[in-house]
Amino acid sequence: MASSLLTRQLAISLRLAAPGSRYVSKTATKSVSEFEYDAPSMKTAVPGPKSQELLRQLGEIQNVGAVHFFCNYEESRGNYLVDVDGNRMLDVYTQISSIPIGYNHPALMKVMTNPNNVSTFVNRPALGILPPENFPDKLIESLLSIAPSGMRRVQTMACGSCSNENAFKTMFIWYRNKERGYANPSEHEVDTCMINQSPGCPDLSILSFMGAFHGRTLGCLATTHSKAIHKLDIPSFDWPIAPFPKLQYPLEEFVRENAQEEARCLEEVEDLIVKWRQKGKPVAGIVIEPIQAEGGDNHASPDFFSKLRNIARKHGCAFHVDEVQTGGGTTGKFWGHEHWGLDDPADVVSFSKKLLTGGYYHRDELKPDKPYRIFNTWMGDPSKNLFLSEVLNVIRRENLLEVVTRSGKALLQGLYTLQTQYPHILSRARGQGTFCAIDACNDATRDSIMIKARNKGLFMGSCGEKTIRFRPALVFKEYHVHQLLNILNDVLAEHK
Amino acid sequence: MASSLLTRQLAISLRLAAPGSRYVSKTATKSVSEFEYDAPSMKTAVPGPKSQELLRQLGEIQNVGAVHFFCNYEESRGNYLVDVDGNRMLDVYTQISSIPIGYNHPALMKVMTNPNNVSTFVNRPALGILPPENFPDKLIESLLSIAPSGMRRVQTMACGSCSNENAFKTMFIWYRNKERGYANPSEHEVDTCMINQSPGCPDLSILSFMGAFHGRTLGCLATTHSKAIHKLDIPSFDWPIAPFPKLQYPLEEFVRENAQEEARCLEEVEDLIVKWRQKGKPVAGIVIEPIQAEGGDNHASPDFFSKLRNIARKHGCAFHVDEVQTGGGTTGKFWGHEHWGLDDPADVVSFSKKLLTGGYYHRDELKPDKPYRIFNTWMGDPSKNLFLSEVLNVIRRENLLEVVTRSGKALLQGLYTLQTQYPHILSRARGQGTFCAIDACNDATRDSIMIKARNKGLFMGSCGEKTIRFRPALVFKEYHVHQLLNILNDVLAEHK
């Protein structure tokens, strides 16, 4: 968290933004301005009349309670999302953190217009049985070129939930093979599994954390504990749930208190592992996000993750790091777990969103022992791998991890300044790279700030109970940070 | 099953193919020949040397035990799949039944080269919060234009498993809302759901059938009972599993016996519903395939499904028809359940594969009462909807449902003839449209026939214990049927 310390000190020492003062910056460096707009431009309140009419139409077909507005993706560019009423907003939510290099990036447009790529879009293969000729090469040049430390094996999937479901299955299979001493399953196991009974379907568990979000399919949902609306009425598994550290921010000012809190949680993790083993539901794996996102942008220290990793190893549990939201460069490193500085950070790392395809890496020891154990019809989508290769080229060519680190510092510094100016409204600014957040005093205030900001051309996301989360694309530059802070400052200045 | 009867009688009365005799037919009607080859063409045994080298490379990254060979999708056309060694095979497995109108169909190539579509591929939206302007229109012109009887609401998803997982959730939410009298959940429910406990996460169940396949994520897998390899070592739910009728074929010859068998299964279904209610795990929904596919191409009569639907209604369970493999025209009607002739065949119908996008339709009563209950990041993929619209245009323009019906009759008739000629090897020919199957005397013989046929240019799929399944694309014409039967006849004639 050295960078947070630095930027906070800078913010305090320089007092860049007194109430009402403006950040002034040149609009755009070359590589961005080539394909994007200069600034937000608003024509109506959001949602505007066209969005409202489309909402009515879509409401006949689906529940539209979560729809914010309808978009004109053709006209959107870079960091700017254009809606159907012609409003152009600075987008720091980016389709729930899933747009890596902005809208309509020229490099991605080129992928589409390359005639060599047409067949990949038109003929979606069943990758597990009939892969295309270039599949090993494409995996090597895309996903394996960014593989986490110690991992040479990767399995693509369609989305984040499927990735985590299959990662869990991989850990269960690995765990039972260990227990069986790698012998063949007994006839009794084979028979009982067909009717959902143990020992064939064993009472194994995955340990997760309060506040976690790992997806919404039934296996994933048993490890998700962020909001009741996700879980209510859906049957679940009796799996152990540990407390996630509730840290005080800024982290550098509460080192001793936070270390105590983390120690308390780790102790609870070990207790739960022992207790669930005694209950006959041993913990096959531990799953955790490097930063709890949906649950409210909750951080923990590298020391916490390092000790948790050791606990997993000590008790023979696989350690699964869910990088669906933290992966892809948004923390300033390609994977959130790289900030821990461990040689051996994980057994399984799952991804989706900014990687455009779902999937997971795993250590050699966890490779499935037989075909068809980890399987489905499509097993991913090569057309998404094509786009990912190009995204990685752009990230390297435009040094986007450095851009994220620089913009992230400016953003966090700005948030520190705002919470100093508006201490009755804002608190707990925190972040890594541009993966930043700040809390409002309550949810109504948070929601009101977000709506007012949107009407001024800044589109943000929420998480947790009263948190605003910032999830810009990797092409989010310092002058975009200044636009964001100026709008937020205006909203806060008007706020009663 | 009137059509089966007809074609079987035809086969017997005409004795079209004596041992060694050949089907002779003109190659290709115009609409197909424009973009495809005339016949298979083999250069090496399959997998050839290039496939074997690629298998070695991919084996460093993934388990490749299920990979048959590597494909050259650029060179594949229509019903013919070309591999990396230059072998061209008549493909009647079509990427596990997921290629609707053959490889590289010109209409789909056009979708790719239309500049208006580029943005849809490049900017994948979070459909649940920020849909594109044309989203309601695209749903209406594609998925809603083929909506099953009585259904005006549809939710897209990424794949078959996600579709079924969310369909199950939809049924659980509906069931609990009924139980609560549509009141708000209690504080106790809200609190307990966060920690996976009842009543917030209630002990509800889904009733499924032995031999069923509904996917491999943890919720789906609890309703899948086709093969042990899918289920072994994965924790599951204690949900009721009913026997699926084991019918004798041809269905018309065993009407009385089959009716008895179906009555036995239906009785067991009612018993299980009562028993699970008494156990405190009431059945919220019943899920079933119109034809069990992965489980071995097991059919049941319209009368069976009609009575099952009534049992569901009587006991207040939702009735979920899983059309992931049967949907999209392959049975000669767009949905397999249309053959039942019911006005009110289902509460939920899920799909994927040939529809190119996953998803499910549901009756109005089952619409989620609040936003974010059925939700994920992408909620489908509009680029798949674009292709689906075009596929539907082609199906209509080229009368492909009629083509399927005609080709299906010829195929089933040919299979009847083959099993008459080779009664020691083949039995139980069955099918609806081109969704056909035949059993070998054992699994080793089945596998051997499939490998020999592949080396002669016919690529088929397997299912169940010893079944060959036929899943051609909708552009599979009668002369393709003749090619198939000729190759199969050659293989069987050589078989010891």
A273 CA to chain B: closest CA distance, Å? 16
Residue of A379, A397, A308 whose CA lies nearest to B96: A379
| Whether residue A14 has pLDDT greater than 50 | no
Prediction pTM value? 0.95
Give the whole-angstrom CA distance, residue A223 versus residue A210.
9
Confidence of residue A495 (pLDDT cuts 50, 70, 90): confident
pLDDT digit string (tens) for A407-458? 999 999 999 999 999 999 999 999 999 999 999 999 999 999 999 999 999 9
Which chain B residues have a beta carbon less than 8 Å from that of A201?
A: 231-236
Judge: A104–B124 Cβ closer than 8 Å, yes or no: no
Give the whole-angstrom CA distance, residue B267 versus residue B278.
17
The label of the residue with tokens 């994980």 reads: A346
| Percent residues over pLDDT 70 in chain A | 94
| Whether residue B367 has pLDDT greater than 50 | yes
Residue of B301, B319, B306 whose CA lies nearest to B244: B301
In sequence order, the 6+-apart residues with CB closer than 8 A to the CB of B255 are none
Judge: B194–A228 Cβ closer than 8 Å, yes or no: yes
Give the whole-angstrom CA distance, residue A322 versus residue B281.
32
pLDDT digit string (tens) for A300-324? 999 999 999 999 999 999 999 999 9
Output the pLDDT for position B113. 86
| Whether residue A496 has pLDDT greater than 80 | no
Q: Identify whether the C-beta of residue B463 lies closer than 8 Å to the C-beta of residue B437.
A: yes
Confidence of residue A113 (pLDDT cuts 50, 70, 90): confident
Which chain B residues have a beta carbon less than 8 Å from that of A165?
A: 161, 216-218
Tokens for A182?
A: 């790698």
Region class of A273: left (phi > 0), else alpha (psi between -120 and 50), else beta:
alpha
pLDDT digit string (tens) for B216-241? 999 999 999 999 999 999 999 999 99
| Strand (E) or helix (H) holding B451 | helix B443-455
Q: Identify whether the C-beta of residue B352 lies closer than 8 Å to the C-beta of residue B320.
A: no
pLDDT-wise least confident of A181-185, B11-15, B154-158, B410-414: B11-15
| Whether residue B2 has pLDDT greater than 50 | no
| Whether residue A30 has pLDDT greater than 80 | no
Q: A264 phi and psi, to 5 degrees? A: -60, -45
Give the whole-angstrom CA distance, residue B323 versus residue B337.
8
Identify whether B281 is a catalytic site residue.
Answer: no
Which chain B residues have a beta carbon less than 8 Å from that of A125?
A: 71, 73, 95
Tell me: cis bond preceding A368? Omega within 30 of 0 counts: no
The label of the residue with tokens 């930027």 reads: A7
Output the pLDDT for position B244. 98
Measured between its terminal Cα atoms, the distance across chain B in Å is: 34
Judge: B185–A232 Cβ closer than 8 Å, yes or no: yes
Identify whether B367 is a catalytic site residue.
Answer: no
Give the whole-angstrom CA distance, residue B468 versus residue B296.
8
Judge: A235–B371 Cβ closer than 8 Å, yes or no: no
Picking from B76, B101, B122 by the largest number of A CB atoms within 10 A of its own CB, the best residue to mutate is B122
Closest CA in chain A for residue B62: A153
DSSP per-residue codes, A68-135: ---B-TTT-BBTEEEBTTS-EEEESSHHHHT-SS-BT-HHHHHHHH-GGGHHHHHS---TTTS-BTTH
Measured between its terminal Cα atoms, the distance across chain A in Å is: 34
**Once rounded to an integer, what is the mean pLDDT over residues B382-398?**
97
| Percent residues over pLDDT 90 in chain A | 92
Which chain B residues have a beta carbon less than 8 Å from that of A210?
A: 194
Picking from A377, A390, A463 by the largest number of B CB atoms within 10 A of its own CB, the best residue to mutate is A377
For the beta carbon of residue A111, count every other beta carbon within 10 angstroms. 21
The label of the residue with tokens 């194994």 reads: A204
Q: B91 forms bridges with which residues in the sheet?
A: B459
B41 CA to chain A: closest CA distance, Å? 18
Give the whole-angstrom CA distance, residue A236 versus residue B296.
30
- Mean pLDDT, chain A, rounded, equals 94
Tokens for B89?
A: 């095979």
DSSP per-residue codes, B154-191: EEEESSHHHHHHHHHHHHHHHHHHHHTTTPPPPHHHHH
Closest CA in chain B for residue A369: B63
Output the pLDDT for position B8. 39
| Whether residue B364 has pLDDT greater than 70 | yes
Which chain B residues have a beta carbon less than 8 Å from that of A173?
A: 232-234
Closest CA in chain A for residue B147: A61
In sequence order, the 6+-apart residues with CB closer than 8 A to the CB of A134 are none
Q: Choosing from B138, B353, B384, B456, which is the catalytic residue?
A: B353
For the beta carbon of residue A396, count every other beta carbon within 10 angstroms. 11
Beta strands in B248-317 (DSSP E): 283-288
**Once rounded to an integer, what is the mean pLDDT over residues B77-91?**
98
Quick one: three-class SS letters along B315-342?
CCCEEEEECCCCCCCCCCCCCHHHHHCC
| Strand (E) or helix (H) holding A444 | helix A443-455
Give the whole-angstrom CA distance, residue B364 versus residue A62.
10
Which chain A residues have a beta carbon less than 8 Å from that of B80?
A: none
Give the whole-angstrom CA distance, residue A483 versus residue A37.
12
The label of the residue with tokens 């998700």 reads: A224
Give the whole-angstrom CA distance, residue A271 versus residue A276.
9
- Residue type at B88 in one-letter notation: R
A172 CA to chain B: closest CA distance, Å? 6
Q: A427 forms bridges with which residues in the sheet?
A: A439
Starting at the edge strand found earlier in the chain, the sheet holding A318-322 runs A153-157, A358-362, A348-351, A318-322, A283-288, A205-209, A241-242
Q: How many CB pairs under 8 A join A and B?
A: 387
Output the pLDDT for position B35. 77
| Whether residue B359 has pLDDT greater than 80 | yes
**CB-based burial label for B494 (10 Å; 0-12, 13-18, 19+):** exposed
| Whether residue B63 has pLDDT greater than 50 | yes
Residue of A253, A298, A304, A211 whose CA lies nearest to A416: A253
Say which DSSP state A347 is in. Answer: S
Picking from A62, A64, A146 by the largest number of B CB atoms within 10 A of its own CB, the best residue to mutate is A62
Judge: A112–B121 Cβ closer than 8 Å, yes or no: yes
Q: Identify whether the C-beta of residue B288 lies closer than 8 Å to the C-beta of residue B271.
A: no
Residue of A334, A196, A431 whose CA lies nearest to B218: A196
A441 CA to chain B: closest CA distance, Å? 23
Output the pLDDT for position B170. 98
Judge: B105–A122 Cβ closer than 8 Å, yes or no: yes
**Once rounded to an integer, what is the mean pLDDT over residues A240-269?**
97
Widest CA span in chain B: 74
Output the pLDDT for position A11. 38
Output the pLDDT for position B34. 61
Judge: B67–A131 Cβ closer than 8 Å, yes or no: yes
| Whether residue A13 has pLDDT greater than 50 | no
Confidence of residue B17 (pLDDT cuts 50, 70, 90): very low
pLDDT digit string (tens) for B476-496? 999 999 999 999 999 999 986
Give the whole-angstrom CA distance, residue A450 versus residue A491.
9
- The catalytic residues of A are 213, 322, 353, 377
Output the pLDDT for position B495. 87
Output the pLDDT for position B25. 65
Q: Which of B63, B111, B196 lies at the smallest CB-CB distance from A236?
A: B196
Judge: A196–B241 Cβ closer than 8 Å, yes or no: yes
Which chain B residues have a beta carbon less than 8 Å from that of A132?
A: 70-73
Specify the length of chain A in residues: 496
Chain centre distance of CA B437: 13
pLDDT digit string (tens) for A35-76? 799 999 999 999 999 999 999 999 999 999 999 999 999 999
Tokens for B235?
A: 């924790």
Judge: B372–A65 Cβ closer than 8 Å, yes or no: yes
**Once rounded to an integer, what is the mean pLDDT over residues A218-247?**
98
Identify whether B322 is a catalytic site residue.
Answer: yes
B20 CA to chain A: closest CA distance, Å? 32
**Once rounded to an integer, what is the mean pLDDT over residues A477-488?**
98
**Once rounded to an integer, what is the mean pLDDT over residues B121-147?**
97
DSSP per-residue codes, A7-63: HHHHHHHH----TT------S--HHHHTTS-SS-B--S-SS-HHHHHHHHHHHTTS-
Output the pLDDT for position A23. 80
* Angle at alpha carbon of residue A255, lines to A253 and A257, rounded to 5°: 105
In sequence order, the 6+-apart residues with CB closer than 8 A to the CB of A147 are A154, A361
Judge: A378–B98 Cβ closer than 8 Å, yes or no: yes
Give the whole-angstrom CA distance, residue B436 versus residue B40.
21
Judge: B235–A233 Cβ closer than 8 Å, yes or no: no
**For chain A, what is the radius of gyration of the CA atoms?**
23
Output the pLDDT for position A25. 64
pLDDT digit string (tens) for A185-204? 999 999 999 999 999 999 99
Output the pLDDT for position B21. 63
Q: A88 forms bridges with which residues in the sheet?
A: A41, A82
Q: Identify whether the C-beta of residue B380 lies closer than 8 Å to the C-beta of residue B358.
A: yes
Q: B361 forms bridges with which residues in the sheet?
A: B154, B349
Confidence of residue A5 (pLDDT cuts 50, 70, 90): very low
| Whether residue B138 has pLDDT greater than 70 | yes
Closest CA in chain B for residue A237: B196
**Once rounded to an integer, what is the mean pLDDT over residues A487-496?**
93
Closest CA in chain B for residue A243: B195
Give the whole-angstrom CA distance, residue A426 versus residue B152.
45
Give the whole-angstrom CA distance, residue B238 versus residue B236.
7
Say which DSSP state A433 is in. Answer: T
Helix (H/G/I), strand (E/B), else coil: B423: coil
pLDDT digit string (tens) for A345-368? 999 999 999 999 999 999 999 999
In this prediction the ipTM stands at 0.94
Output the pLDDT for position A22. 76
Judge: B367–A158 Cβ closer than 8 Å, yes or no: no
Chain centre distance of CA A226: 14
Q: Identify whether the C-beta of residue B383 lies closer than 8 Å to the C-beta of residue B124.
A: yes
| Strand (E) or helix (H) holding A140 | helix A135-141
